[in-house]
Chains A and B, each alone.
Chain A
Amino acid sequence: DQQVKQNSPSLSVQEGRISILNCDYTNSMFDYFLWYKKYPAEGPTFLISISSIKDKNEDGRFTVFLNKSAKHLSLHIVPSQPGDSAVYFCAAGYNYGQNFVFGPGTRLSVLP
């Protein structure tokens, strides 16, 4: 029973183009969402978050969009760079809790 799904195991994008990573969740009570990036042999590092009171949050090249009615969020990376090649995890949780449910990850490859 996966509460957080990332249906694309992998994604390849040309350098300079937009990368769009998608995430779906099943629990409508989730109200806080995070994206993490993970390089091989390293722990995940935090990228960006969004609360359910917003539908968009930007940080430099990274933008997260939240569609609560569809229980869907997406991470946009513009422009994509080869250094963005990594596994990206979506995580969902509650605003008054500290526990987050992680998706299985999407491996992004940015081709030069």
Chain B
Amino acid sequence: NAGVTQTPKFRILKIGQSMTLQCAQDMNHNYMYWYRQDPGMGLKLIYYSVGAGITDKGEVPNGYNVSRSTTEDFPLRLELAAPSQTSVYFCASSYSRPSYEQYFGPGTRLTVT
């Protein structure tokens, strides 16, 4: 099993550009999440999904969009990139209850200049 994979590992964007961060998992998990981690801060939830076709906003959704057309994939779309979106982005997945353990990908480091 590859677990949770994320691409790309690094990306530099200019202000106003758009991009999609890819996330895939091969563990047949229902739940998937996108987090961002700013320096010295904890992970903040951007969006999450409880199954294919179902997504919901987390704590910091502004400037992002998601879709979940399959169980495996959960891409995160950045429209009109801004310097405030410079961060490390982590995708995670988990089973439904009773296990709350989330499996994380290696992260994507994004810089917007």
Contacts and interface: CB of A to CB of B under 8 A. Distances in A.
Given A34-B100, A43-B4, A104 B40 contact: yes
B107 to A, nearest CB: 6
Interface residues of A, number: 25
Nearest to A44: B104
B31 A98 contact: yes
Nearest to B40: A104
A102 B107 CA distance: 16
A99 B45 contact: yes
Contact of B100 (A42, A44, A100, A101): A100
A32 B97 CA distance: 12
A44 B90 contact: yes
Contacts of B90: 43-44
Interface in A65-107: 89, 91, 93, 96, 98-105
Contacts of A9: 40
Given A43-B107, A98-B94, A104 B41 contact: yes
Task: Give 8 closest A-B pairs by Cβ, nearest first.
Answer: A43-B104, A102-B42, A46-B101, A102-B43, A104-B42, A44-B104, A103-B42, A43-B105
Interface of A: 4, 6, 9, 32, 34, 36, 41-46, 49, 89, 91, 93, 96, 98-105
Interface of B: 4, 31, 35, 40-45, 48, 50, 58-59, 90, 92, 94, 97, 100-107
